[in-house]
Amino acid sequence: MKGTKRTRSTGVYELESTTRRHGGKPDVCYYITFKDASGRKIWEKVGWRSEGYSVALATDRRMQRVQALRHGAPVPAAASRRITFGDAYRKWRDVHLSGMASERGITLLAERHLLPRFDRRTMAGIKSLDLETLKADLYRDGLSDQTVRHVLGIIRRVYRKALAWDLYDGPVPTAKIDMPKPDNARLRYLTHDEAARLLAALRAESPLWHDMAALSLGTGMRLGELLALRTGQVDLHAGVIHVLDAKAGTRAAYVSAATRPILESRMTPGHPDALLFPSPRGGGVMDKAGKPFPRAVRLCGLNNGVTDRRQKVVFHTLRHTFASWLAIDGVPLAVIGELLGHATMQMTQRYAKLSPDSKRSAVELVGNALRGLQS
């Protein structure tokens, strides 16, 4: 726990109070730590020096707990709430998050913004005020609404899994705070000419990034999904790409005549785990977007004079362009939503404005009926 100091007794810690006094000196609280049968680290508060507790009494309490666990006794309910956020996060990361396309990004956020603050804090000891303070600090550091929401979302997910796995039995502090509601809906999509110029620039900059961009433009796949794409996920015979661990669950992306040659050139037959787009440095999964794409965007001048970040061309613009072109061509929104793997229809609704022909046709039907009534 943050602020605690080791004593000479194994597994016994003390924390000097900044508000309580005893005998003219800061009061001291004693804690013990031990592992349960599954290896989970438990923190338990023993009591304050002003209440008569000491290192010797804390040592006895720890010995009782260890002996009881050795003989199959359950961890007392009070002690089960002493699990630290750091231990719960690492269990969640290793069991639930491992292998997901979002693992790298979530891990970076947690290590940068959460663990330095909450690693050794008990989950029961983290209150909504702590999260409001965290939120204010993140905004003060210049983080966007979306990033702040992601950080708080990690906390919420860790608590919910800890409850489901019986690692924790207390309240979830995110339930009492207002989560940011960012307006990050990207408005920009590429024209056919802009897309052609961007792909040409990427072909000269990096064949790898050209192929990823073309595949995103042709399937609507996210950058993280492409970086994690492996040979075994592609079924060229059926013309399907199995997009695993997507935000809304596994979905299918479909192979077209334009994307098939790219997939054929990138796949490694007989090696289902081989990445289609491995990192040029070491061959593993790339953990960041890299420089070729933004450099190609600059060369094409696609962001010249653009100040609204929602209008700037980024890699995600390719996925947005895929959906926008479908909407302009009259593809039903429900189909677009399925192709994008949207969890709700509300997420797809932004493309409704790009389907003016269907709306105009519907209005004409009413107009025809009205003319009939007026004749």
**What is the model's pLDDT at position 269?**
92
pLDDT-above-90 percentage for the chain: 44
Residue entry with tokens 């919910």: 160
**What are the helix (H) ranges across the chain?**
55-70, 77-80, 85-92, 103-109, 115-118, 128-140, 145-164, 192-205, 207-219, 223-227, 260-266, 292-300, 316-328, 333-340, 345-348, 356-374
Average pLDDT taken over every residue of the chain: 86
Length of the chain: 375
1, 13 Cβ separation under 8 angstroms: yes
Answer CATH for 192-267+287-358 from 3.20.20.100, 1.10.443.10, 3.40.50.300, 1.10.10.60:
1.10.443.10
Residues 316, 100, 219, 361, Cα dihedral to 10°: -70
Give me the amino acid identity at 336. I
Residue ranges of domains in the chain: 5-80, 85-176, 192-267+287-358
Sequential DSSP letters for 335-350:
HHHHHHT-SSHHHHGG
Q: Please, are residues 136 and 154 in contact by the beta-carbon 8 Å criterion? A: no
Residues 163 and 127: beta-carbon distance below 8 Å: no
**Under a CB-based contact definition with an 8 Å cutoff, are residues 241 and 255 in contact?**
yes
Arithmetic mean of pLDDT, 147-164: 91
Contact residues for 300 (Cβ-Cβ < 8 A; gap 6+): 194, 197, 198, 201
Q: What is the pLDDT of residue 255?
A: 93
Report pLDDT digits (tens) over 218-270: 999 999 899 999 999 999 999 999 998 666 678 899 999 999 999 999 999 99
Q: How far apart are CA 352 and CA 111, in angstroms?
A: 39
Q: Considering Cα of 200, then 205, then 209, then 211, what sign does the dihedral take?
A: positive
Express each pLDDT in 38-63 by its tens digit. 777 888 888 888 888 899 999 998 99
User: Which of 118, 185, 186 minimizes the C-alpha distance to 152?
Assistant: 118
Q: Answer yes or no: are the C-beta atoms of 189 and 146 closer than 8 Å.
A: no
Which CATH superfamily is 85-176 part of?
Tyrosine recombinase, N-terminal domain (1.10.150.130)
Lowest mean pLDDT across 7-21, 164-178, 216-230: 164-178
Give the mean pLDDT of 116-128.
91
CB neighbour list of residue 150: distance below 8 Å, 6 or more residues apart: 106, 109
Residue 211, Cβ neighbours under 10 Å: how many?
22
